[in-house]
């Protein structure tokens, strides 16, 4: 056995510093959510948990007035974020898998034109067409609705391209056999294509759920009433200008709750998450 | 591009495409066309009449020294975020990929920040660097450094750069790790036998072989810094103090939503579209994506 040299420890030291840089802000927030606003506001936050945790989370959850202001209850904001994230994830997967199936398994006039039409959306992120998209949504009467939050975000070229690429790897023999057995396109889709796409769907779902949950600019625009607030935009509204006299204990508890679902998804579905991420960029 | 065997059906493919095409036309193509139309028109204060003004909106926008300042802030911000996020991610990925104990645990602990929204990352940084309540913010002041990113433009820009890069490291880390794992071990072992040290091996073998990943991430990080960091900036500094942290995307929002200047905001949107199209074209033209993760 050689004695441990400093050079062998170096990678561990660097990695641990890296891990700490990412964990420390979260740790502070977790601790902060268990103290009272006075302690936090004075800047005297200790490094160990306080005894206010249960009260703070309960207060944030039901939206009971803090020391200084009233907030939208976290349960309402979490529900809104959940509906938005699930609608975006499920909606995107559903419309993309159908259109990819059409492009990959049929021959029909204007096929390539449709393909390019979908492809072009890659170059039009919501951020570059904010005002006109907002206007369309307003004209359709979708401001402050779940439909308004989700539908404009569910068309995406990435998911369609991913499914199409995968469909092209399904062997022709499988399709010929299905045809000989008299299976039509709908039967083939349900019995063969969908089951084969299971892992792709799961991987994509994880990525899209996080994408949907973390939306910021769009919810900021299309929701104006408190009961349609999503949790990520809700937090920054609670903070306002960031003065020291804020209900920091409630804000920190809300932040912890806002991080929980997407972080849980990444940690518990790590394998699918990494696959989805790497695949959807191909 | 096309399979050899396909189904014959006249109507079905169109039905399958209908939902995606409808959403694309209504929420993508139509608004984008609208932005282009608005960008060459000038509306009166009530939005009733509009006049075709050629490129007046564009010359106004591009001739505005404020806009050029915003452009400068955007370039500094994007480059800093890209370099920081990629550099740190590459360092961590190379170390986590080497044969060390606990590599799996390190990976998990470095991957999860991907789940955080840019705005939430900003809020976490505020909890630490706020001059009143943040431990680091207070420590800086206690050391006699006049730290207040709410008043000092340079400090504000530093804050948003740090918060935005912090959030993007995990994404880069995942892709660098995937890229590293695709490099055949035999190549590294051969170099090792030939007596090349770890640093030399990195620069002559690993780094060149990673270049497709690096280039891909370069484009992705630029797009991230340009567009997705709206939340970071909105949550931390609101573009201020003054216009010290106002990026192009923040300004489109500011001019269009807050100041209600449709023509100017649309002209800016069109400029941004050109930037995205250029970045996407570069990505498709040059990037060979051959990353594998196992």
Mean pLDDT across chain A: 85
Shortest CA gap B19–chain A (Å) = 6
State the pLDDT confidence band at B1, using cuts at 50, 70 and 90: low
What CATH architecture applies to the domain A1-282? Answer: Orthogonal Bundle (1.10)
- Contact criterion met (CB below 8 Å) for B129 and B159: yes
Here the ipTM equals 0.86
- pLDDT reading at A1 higher than 60: no
Q: Distance between CA A91 and CA A84 in Å, rounded? A: 10
Q: Which residue among A22, A124, A265 places its CB closest to the CB of B273?
A: A124
Q: Which residue among B24, B174, B216 places its CB closest to the CB of A274?
A: B174
State the pLDDT confidence band at A65, using cuts at 50, 70 and 90: low
- What residues form DSSP beta bridges with B41? B52
Q: Distance between CA B168 and CA B171 in Å, rounded? A: 6
Contacts of B19 in chain A (CB under 8 A): 94-95, 98-99
pLDDT tens readout for residues B226-283:
888 999 999 888 887 888 888 988 888 888 888 877 778 888 888 888 888 888 777 7
Residue A128: predicted pLDDT:
74
Stretch 51-110 of chain B: residues touching chain A, C-beta under 8 Å: 88, 91-92, 95-96, 98, 100-102, 106, 108-110
Residue B7 is classified by DSSP as: B
Percent of chain B with pLDDT over 90: 23
pLDDT tens readout for residues B66-96:
888 899 999 999 999 999 999 999 999 998 8
- pLDDT reading at B293 higher than 60: no
Domains and CATH numbers, chain B: 64-286 (1.10.3720.10)
- State yes or no: cis peptide before B216, omega within 30 of 0: no
Length of chain A: 282
Scanning every residue of chain A, which has its alpha carbon at the shortest distance from the alpha carbon of B263?
A131
User: What three-state secondary structure class fits A134?
Assistant: helix
Residue with token string 């060979």: B288
Residues B25-42 have a mean pLDDT of 85
CA dihedral B218, B222, B228, B233 (to 10 degrees): 120
Strands B50-52 and B41-43: antiparallel
Are B26 and A136 within 8 A, CB to CB?
yes
Give CA angle at A215 (B171, B76), nearest 5°: 55
Stretch 177-206 of chain B: residues touching chain A, C-beta under 8 Å: 178
Shortest CA gap B186–chain A (Å) = 22
State the pLDDT confidence band at B290, using cuts at 50, 70 and 90: very low
Residue A122: predicted pLDDT:
75
Residue B288: predicted pLDDT:
47
Scanning every residue of chain B, which has its alpha carbon at the shortest distance from the alpha carbon of A10?
B95
Percent of chain A with pLDDT over 90: 26
- Contact criterion met (CB below 8 Å) for B283 and A122: no
Which is more confident, A66 or A224? A224
Contacts of A236 in chain B (CB under 8 A): 119, 123, 231, 234-235
Residues A230-254 have a mean pLDDT of 82
Residues A157-174 have a mean pLDDT of 88
Residues 6+ apart with CB under 8 A from A279: A162, A200, A203, A204
Which is more confident, B75 or B37? B75
In sign, the C-alpha dihedral spanning A282, B1, B3, B9 is positive
Q: Which residue among A111, A273, A278 places its CB closest to the CB of B178?
A: A278
Q: Which residue among B9, B227, B257 places its CB closest to the CB of A106?
A: B9
Q: Residue B7: phi, psi to the nearest 5?
A: -85, 150
Stretch 234-263 of chain B: residues touching chain A, C-beta under 8 Å: 234-235, 249, 252-253, 256-257, 262
pLDDT tens readout for residues A5-19:
777 788 888 899 999
Are B27 and A155 within 8 A, CB to CB?
yes
State the pLDDT confidence band at B38, using cuts at 50, 70 and 90: confident
- pLDDT reading at A34 higher than 90: no
Q: Distance between CA B75 and CA B70 in Å, rounded? A: 9
- pLDDT reading at A108 higher than 90: no
Shortest CA gap B214–chain A (Å) = 14
Residue A229 is classified by DSSP as: -
Residue A49 is classified by DSSP as: -
pLDDT tens readout for residues B147-163:
888 888 888 999 999 99
Domain extent listing, chain A: 1-282
Are B5 and A179 within 8 A, CB to CB?
yes
Percent of chain B with pLDDT over 70: 94
Q: Which residue among B34, B124, B128 places its CB closest to the CB of A132?
A: B34
What count of other Cβ atoms lies within 10 Å of the Cβ of residue A22? Answer: 20
Q: How far apart are the first and last CA of chain A?
A: 45
- Contact criterion met (CB below 8 Å) for B240 and B152: no
- Specify burial of residue A235 (Cβ count, 10 A radius: 0-12, 13-18, 19+): buried
Q: Is B139 on the interface with A (CB under 8 A)?
A: no
Q: Which residue among A11, A133, A241 places its CB closest to the CB of B98?
A: A11
- pLDDT reading at B122 higher than 50: yes
Q: How many CB pairs lie under 8 A apart between chains A and B? A: 297
Contacts of A154 in chain B (CB under 8 A): 23
Contacts of B249 in chain A (CB under 8 A): 127
State the pLDDT confidence band at B291, using cuts at 50, 70 and 90: very low
């Amino acid at each position: 056995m050689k004695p441990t040299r400093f050079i062998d420890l170096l990678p561990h030291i660097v990695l641990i510093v890296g891990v700490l840089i990412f964990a420390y802000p979260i740790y502070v927030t977790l601790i902060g959510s268990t103290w009272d606003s006075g302690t936090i506001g004075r800047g005297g936050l200790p490094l160990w948990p306080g005894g206010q945790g249960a009260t703070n989370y309960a207060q944030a959850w039901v939206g009971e007035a803090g020391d200084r202001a009233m907030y939208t209850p976290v349960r309402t904001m979490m529900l809104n974020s959940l509906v938005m994230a699930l609608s975006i994830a499920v909606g995107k997967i559903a419309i993309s898998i159908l259109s990819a199936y059409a492009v990959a398994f049929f021959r029909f006039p204007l096929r390539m034109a449709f393909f390019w039409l979908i492809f072009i959306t890659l170059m039009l992120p919501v951020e570059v067409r904010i005002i006109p998209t907002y206007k369309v949504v307003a004209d359709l009467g979708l401001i402050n609705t779940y439909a308004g939050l989700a539908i404009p975000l569910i068309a995406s070229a990435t998911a369609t391209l991913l499914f199409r690429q995968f469909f092209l790897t399904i062997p022709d023999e499988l399709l010929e056999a299905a045809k000989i057995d008299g299976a039509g396109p709908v039967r083939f889709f349900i019995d063969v294509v969908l089951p084969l796409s299971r892992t792709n769907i799961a991987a994509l779902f994880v990525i899209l759920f996080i994408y949907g949950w973390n939306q910021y600019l769009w919810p900021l625009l299309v929701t104006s009433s408190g009961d349609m607030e999503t949790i990520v935009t809700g937090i920054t509204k609670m903070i306002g200008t960031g003065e020291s006299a804020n209900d920091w204990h409630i804000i920190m508890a809300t932040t912890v709750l806002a991080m929980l679902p997407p972080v849980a998804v990444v940690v518990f579905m790590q394998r699918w998450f990494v696959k989805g991420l790497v695949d959807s960029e191909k | 591009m096309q399979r050899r065997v396909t189904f014959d059906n006249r109507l079905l493919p169109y039905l399958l495409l209908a939902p995606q095409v409808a959403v694309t036309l209504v929420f993508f193509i139509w608004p984008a066309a609208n932005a282009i139309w608005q960008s060459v028109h000038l509306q009166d204060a009530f939005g009733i009449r509009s006049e075709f003004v050629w490129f007046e909106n564009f010359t106004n926008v591009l001739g505005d020294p404020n806009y050029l300042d915003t452009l400068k802030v955007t370039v500094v911000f994007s480059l800093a975020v890209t370099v920081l996020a990629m550099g740190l991610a590459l360092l961590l990925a190379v170390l986590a990929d080497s044969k060390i104990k606990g590599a799996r645990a390190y990976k998990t602990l470095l991957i999860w920040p991907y789940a955080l929204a840019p705005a939430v990352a900003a809020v976490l940084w505020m909890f630490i660097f706020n001059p009143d309540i943040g431990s680091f913010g207070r420590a800086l002041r206690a050391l006699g450094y006049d730290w207040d990113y709410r008043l000092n433009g340079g400090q504000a820009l530093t804050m948003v750069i740090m918060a935005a890069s912090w959030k993007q490291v995990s994404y880069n880390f995942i892709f660098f790790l995937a890229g590293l794992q695709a490099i055949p071990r035999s190549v590294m072992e051969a170099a090792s036998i030939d007596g090349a040290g770890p640093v030399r091996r990195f620069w002559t073998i690993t780094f060149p072989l990673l270049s497709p990943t690096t280039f891909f991430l370069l484009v992705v990080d630029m797009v991230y810094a340009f567009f997705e960091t709206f939340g970071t900036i909105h949550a931390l500094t609101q573009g201020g103090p003054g216009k010290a942290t106002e990026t192009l995307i923040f300004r489109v929002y500011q001019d269009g939503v807050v100041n209600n200047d449709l023509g100017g905001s649309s002209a800016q949107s069109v400029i941004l579209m050109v930037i995205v199209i250029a970045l996407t074209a570069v990505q498709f033209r040059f990037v060979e994506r051959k990353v594998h993760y196992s």
